[in-house]
Amino acid sequence: MRLTSRRPGAAHAISNDSALSQVWACAAVVAALLTTFQLDRVTGSAPVQHLYYVPIVFAAFRLGWRGGLTTALTAIVLYHLANPILLTFRYEQADVVQITLFIAIGLVTARLTADARRLRALAMTDDLTGLHSLRSFEARVKAMIRDSDKARTPVSFIVLDVDRLKTLNDTFGHLTGAEAVRHVGHLIGTCVPPDAVACRYGGDEFVVGIPRRTEAEVAALADELRRAVNASAPVLDGRPFAAATLSVSVGLAHRSGNGTDTIGAGDGDDAGNALFRAADRALYVAKENGRNRISVA
């Protein structure tokens, strides 16, 4: 689906796969260091010694500042071992520059990489709720629908918003209303399954994409979320509120993926847009029927 203009994006946390990739990264760093060491020991030439930068930069990029610094220090040790005259600490100016650059390159690369990742995380996260940003959501949903098309598995969307938020804003102020939206966003993050993806796409509107669940399972999950919001007794802007102060209306749209769907037929953005529109229409039906309820498209 697409709710924003077309720009690059995507999102995340350390999983088993990323942990495995770190092991491979360490192995690659060790192999590159040993290869450079052997070449340095044979040739002793400056161009070959510059190859130590490669594993230092790679380690700093993949493993952070600790990895970059550790690799830089290892490169310094190997540089000395490959050039035994340095073990007597008889350094020429070029040697001092080389050793300094090993450490500087590792630390600077790690810092730049950390800053880039931090900026990317900020771009992928909604500041108010901590859920996905729209761009991150779109990227994740696109992949979710692509996987659904390949495996012919279900995908569902639930769209919800906070009931009577304007009344809350008018009575207690907009900061209270903003904290109510944050509170609901945190409950969504707690209630949705790990393979779901949720975002806030408007002031008080949320959308959740849920893969590999039947319509009944998604309806039960949506009802659990609705009940959690209504049962909560939040403290908003320093003021305690009773249970049942907040409620949400929920619209649900489901695609079974078996090829017989009338909702969400097609693939890619078309399927996502169709599911979103159907869930959004169901949301307004829930509101028209009295709010604090679920409507299924």
Q: What is the pLDDT of residues 128-142, one digit of tens each?
A: 999 999 889 999 999
Q: Are 83 and 44 in contact (CB under 8 A)?
A: yes
Confidence of residue 5 (pLDDT cuts 50, 70, 90): very low
Confidence of residue 268 (pLDDT cuts 50, 70, 90): low
Q: At what angle do helices 16-43 and 53-82 cross, to 10 degrees?
A: 40
Sign of CA dihedral 264, 261, 215, 297: positive
pLDDT of residue 9 exceeding 50, the answer is no
Q: Are 279 and 159 in contact (CB under 8 A)?
A: yes
Instruction: Give 220-260 pLDDT, tens digit per residue.
Output: 999 999 999 999 999 999 999 999 999 999 999 999 988 77
Mean pLDDT of 87-92: 83
**Pick from 208, 215, 199, 207: which is nearest to 153 by CA?**
215
Average pLDDT over all residues of the chain: 89
pLDDT of residue 15 exceeding 50, the answer is no
Q: At what angle do helices 174-191 and 215-231 cross, to 10 degrees?
A: 140
Confidence of residue 265 (pLDDT cuts 50, 70, 90): low
Residue 274, Cβ neighbours under 10 Å: how many? 21
Strand partners, 255: 155
Instruction: Note the CATH architecture for domain 134-296.
Output: 2-Layer Sandwich (3.30)
Length of the chain: 297
Q: At what angle do helices 165-172 and 174-191 cross, to 10 degrees?
A: 140
Predicted pLDDT at 246: 97
Q: What is the pTM of this model?
A: 0.69
CATH 3.30.70.270 residue window(s) in the chain = 134-296
Predicted pLDDT at 42: 93
